[in-house]
Amino acid sequence: MLSRTMHDIRYNAVDDEVLVPNPFSNAILTFRGGADGQEPPVRIIQGPNTELNGPDRLAIDVVHKEIFVPNRGGVLVFPLDGNGDVRPKRAIRGPDTQIEGSSIAVDPVHDLFAVTGRERAILVFNRTASGNAKPLHIIRGPNAQIDRINQMAIYPEGKLLVVAMPGVQGDMEPPRVFVGMWSLDDDGDVAPKWTLTGKQTGLKKPFAVALNPEHKELYVTDMRLNGVMTFSVPEIFQH
């Protein structure tokens, strides 16, 4: 039940499961961690009650057992073990949210989540926010240097948000690309605390990020290089 386009994948290490959104079938698919070949999903969230509309990204919270899905200017929250035509547990949406919603990451330790906002912004909400809630923090402005956000990851122990910035939409090799890192407490026109950028990094169009705190490494996929790059960044894991 996979399709030609899946822009996100998350591993649930607690239950040894893999979650993938399928935008063409408006579904969230959950597979066994050891799935192989044409093995069907163990669970599928799909149907009119889900309100899913082209889900392209997701984040999981294994502590509170929830799935967060950006959905057409809002965020839908489902139970991690949800199956079938299930209604969202919560929906964050409305003009006050300012959500654009192309990427999302969850911090279960501090009960926060970050999501992309309108006008090139990063929005931080309380994890349990619902309805037309206002963001707790908004990172936006010329010092933030945000052109476009593709994927985000959070290091909860350091309250650190790591963001892949692939540059202006449509450019094969945009002039300004980087991986930026902010505190989840940042608010306003705040420059990144750290960046990975410049010719020495080799980055041409960073698209996704993942963290390995145990080995103090940051993984970055680059869509122009068609590769995965590993950076040793012990300084970002200090807290």
> Taking residues 100-120, what's their average pLDDT?
95
For 74-106, the pLDDT digits (tens) are: 999 999 999 999 999 999 999 999 999 889 999
pLDDT of residue 178: 95
pLDDT recorded at residue 71 = 93
At 154-172, the pLDDT tens digits run: 999 999 999 999 988 878 7
Per 3-state DSSP, what percentage of the chain is helix, strand, and coil (rounded to 5)?
5, 45, 50
Please give the pLDDT value at position 238.
83
Which has the higher per-residue pLDDT, 151 or 171?
151
In 47-148, the DSSP E strands lie at 59-61, 66-70, 74-79, 90-93, 99-107, 112-117, 121-126, 137-139
pTM greater than 0.85: yes
